[in-house]
Amino acid sequence: MISNTTGTKKLSDDDNDSINSEEDTTEVPVVVEQTPISSSVTVKPEKKKSKIDLSQATSIVCYQQFSIHYRGKIDIDNHMNTLKHKKNMKYYDVNQKLITTRIKPSREKDEIAAAEGVLVYHNIKHGHSYLAQQCLVNVCKTIFSSSPIATGLSCARTKPPSITLNIHFDYSLLYDASNKGNTKVFPFCVQFLSSTGVKKGMVNLIGDAEESANKIFANVRQLIIDNDLDLNGLTALGADNTSVNVGNNHSDYSLFKDELPDIHKDVEHILLSIYSHFSRSAKRIDELKQYYEFYEQDFKAILKHIKIRWLSLYLSIERLVEVFVPVKKYFLEQHENCPLEIKEFFEHAETTCV
């Protein structure tokens, strides 16, 4: 409402009448309409870009920069005594506690993962069950309760198989030569561990008239490359007991042994070698019985595996497992009189897994 005062004159009909000047005050309403200014251009306020001055100190608590050029530590103490810094410091302490208790540092997680990988490798190397490994993890948590790595281990029944299958793919290779009329073929099979158990399958069937060690070795190397397999994952070779396959001087086994020192021969060959060592020597049998007595076990003879009777393989392996400790001790104490392949078999840490 805007008020305005105007002067009005009252004139009489008679010209001789005196003119009486009187002031009348009246309120006149005036309406002012304001129309909005429309524009197609939207103007936004510009944000101030914070520039970090590398010559000044920056507080990570209150995100403020200050100079320490003149008084050094005194400038830092003065900033820490400000009200803003003290107020932000309270929230900073709370957030730091939440972060450290809920989120593990990446280095600690890496150390826990490395410890779990070592435990799984130890489990596989020594042929332990996953149930035994779960018990070992629980014991480690109890004994080393003050260690964040030990308490962070979660390597029970589910994770070890996943680590075993996904981290490294181990397999054994089986092959043999077969004649079909005037054609010689080599079927190559692999055996590996999957999430549903041990699996076997044929990889390829290669036709080659040459049956030398160098040719078979070259075919195996090419087979591994063509099927995207890792040569370091090859743990055992399975073939018949011919010199071209398992001979000590120049054979498929010796060629693979040069590149893979931990590779094993076929367990059938080892069983036959152990049996042959005792089969025709009463003196060796008598010496072996003394080891049975030392370990307080009843004497049990090594069973012969007959290749044409494939059911005998399981019985022969089972008997060797039953008398493994005294037989191993006997061969390792023979020193130079022990056959080299048998000595390497019992000295290898992964023998019980084979």
Mind listing the pLDDT tens digit for each residue in 213-223? 888 888 888 88
Q: What is the pLDDT of residue 167?
A: 66
Cα-Cα-Cα-Cα torsion 209, 213, 214, 215, nearest 10 degrees, comes to 20
Q: What is the mean pLDDT of the chain?
A: 75
pLDDT tens digit sequence for 96-109: 554 444 445 578 88
Buried b (16+ CB within 10 A) or exposed e, 269-297: bbbbbbbebbeeeeeeeeebeebbeeeee
pLDDT band at 291 (very low <50, low <70, confident <90, very high): very high
pLDDT band at 8 (very low <50, low <70, confident <90, very high): very low
Beta bridge partners of 172: 191, 236
Q: What is the pLDDT of residue 230?
A: 80
pLDDT tens digit sequence for 227-282: 888 887 787 777 776 778 777 678 887 888 888 776 766 677 788 888 888 888 88
CB atoms within 10 A of CB 172: 19
Q: What is the pLDDT of residue 334?
A: 85
- Report the distance separating Cα 120 and Cα 335, nearest Å: 33
- Report the distance separating Cα 273 and Cα 225, nearest Å: 33
Q: Mean per-residue pLDDT for 305-320? A: 78
**How are the residues of the chain apportioned to helix, strand and coil, as percentages rounded to the nearest 5?**
45, 10, 40
Q: What is the pLDDT of residue 105?
A: 53
Q: Mean per-residue pLDDT for 314-337? A: 88
Of 168, 186, 187, nearest to 230 by C-alpha is 168
Which of 84-98, 161-175, 318-332 has the largest mean confidence?
318-332
Residue 25 has pLDDT above 60, yes or no: no
Of 112, 123, 120, nearest to 150 by C-alpha is 112
Question: What CA–CA distances, in Å, run from 298 to 279, 290, 302, 323, 328?
Answer: 19, 11, 13, 9, 16
Phi, psi of 189 (to 5 degrees): -125, 155
Q: What is the pLDDT of residue 244?
A: 80
Q: What is the pLDDT of residue 29?
A: 46
pLDDT band at 187 (very low <50, low <70, confident <90, very high): confident
Exposed/middle/buried for residue 190 (C-beta within 10 Å: 0-12, 13-18, 19+): buried
Q: What is the pLDDT of residue 17?
A: 46
Question: Is pTM beyond 0.85 here?
Answer: no
Percentage of the chain with pLDDT > 90? Answer: 3
pLDDT tens digit sequence for 62-78: 878 888 877 788 888 88
Query: How many residues comprise the chain?
Result: 354
177 CA to centre of own chain = 39
Buried b (16+ CB within 10 A) or exposed e, 24-59: eeeeeeeeeeeeeeeeeeeeeeeeeeeeeeeeeeeb
Q: What is the pLDDT of residue 266?
A: 63
For residues 168 and 153, the model is more confident at 153
Q: What is the pLDDT of residue 189?
A: 87
Phi, psi of 230 (to 5 degrees): -95, 125
Q: What is the pLDDT of residue 11?
A: 41
Asked if residue 291 lies in contact with residue 329, where contact means CB atoms within 8 angstroms, the answer is yes
Return the residue matching tokens 């072996």: 288
Q: Which residues contact 225 (CB under 8 A, 6 or more apart)?
A: none
Residue 90 has pLDDT above 50, yes or no: yes
